[in-house]
Amino acid sequence: MPALDHDLALRLDPADHAALLAARIAERDATILARDAERKQARATAKDGAGAKSATDAATAKTAALTTASTHEATVAATVAAVKVKHAAADLQAQDEGHDIVQGAWVMKAEAKRQGMNPIEDVRLPLDDKQADDFVASYRASVRASFEGMDLQRQVTEYVAAHPKVDGEPGKLIPEPQALLDLRAALAGKQEAVKAEQEKQGAIFAAVLAASGVKAGDYSYSRMSTDGEIVLGRNPLDTKHDEVVLEPKGDGDGKVIK
């Protein structure tokens, strides 16, 4: 299987793009639900015992969500395989690849994606059950709106490319076609939806930190997850809270980070 020596974008036809996008949205949503159910199962087990109905119901929901996610993952894989056959790219070996929604293409990379170092996690703050439920609901909505917004951006870009502006249009006095205005309005709506959900998530984040007395500014890394917790810490290259020892030249050439 020949390796790529340059990046390759496989343009998706409308049906393949729609199928891939729908499967990706559904898979991501099911994965979020599975993580949420795992959180509920763990808490129910700790509170009521592993055999309690609350725990077994959560376990059943987790299994169902994982099955749904797996089904949509298979749809993505099958769609991508069919796209590669259409573009005579089935035998090409990419180091990294993925769906570029805005571009409307499956992109195959000649070089592997650079992986950063994992953060150093110092503090974990639990969300209460209501906060966790509210966060998951908001996160699901924001993820879906983000996917849909990227697709609307693609539609706007493609419409503009296919309908060049009238030559000599002075001061943009000629209004844009209604179809394009509708697309722009829909895109703005999705962007506002994402912003609104992120504000909800930010409010939950602030409330948890305020209740714990922890200051986010003391940390360079933060994450609120569907596991029902906030994680605070540092990025590996940030030596805040670390001790830097300078060794004499010639003995290890310098810095030792403890």
Q: What is the pLDDT, as a whole number, of residue 234?
A: 87
Residue 258 has pLDDT above 60, yes or no: no
Q: If you ran DSSP here, which 8-state letter would residue 49 be given?
A: -
Residue 206 in this model has a pLDDT that exceeds 80? yes
Structure tokens at 236: 């590996």
What is 81-139 written as a DSSP string? HHHHHHTT-TTPBPSEEEEETTTTEEEEESSPPPPPPPPEEEEEEEPPHHHHHHHHHHH
Tokens of 193: 């939806």
112-133 pLDDT tens trace: 888 777 888 999 999 999 999 9
The pLDDT value recorded for residue 50 is: 94
Q: Which of 37-51, 69-83, 95-109, 154-168 has the lowest mean pLDDT?
A: 154-168
Helices 129-162, 14-48: crossing angle, 10 deg rounding:
170
HEC secondary structure over 217-229: HHCCEEEEECCCE
- Per cent of the chain over pLDDT 90 is 75
Taking only the tens place, the pLDDT of each residue in 56-103 is 999 999 999 999 999 999 999 999 999 999 999 999 999 999 999 999
pLDDT of 250 = 53
Three-state secondary-structure class, residue 243 = coil
* CA–CA dist 21, 70 (Å, integer): 15
Could you tell me the pTM of the whole model? Answer: 0.86
Mean pLDDT of 201-222: 94
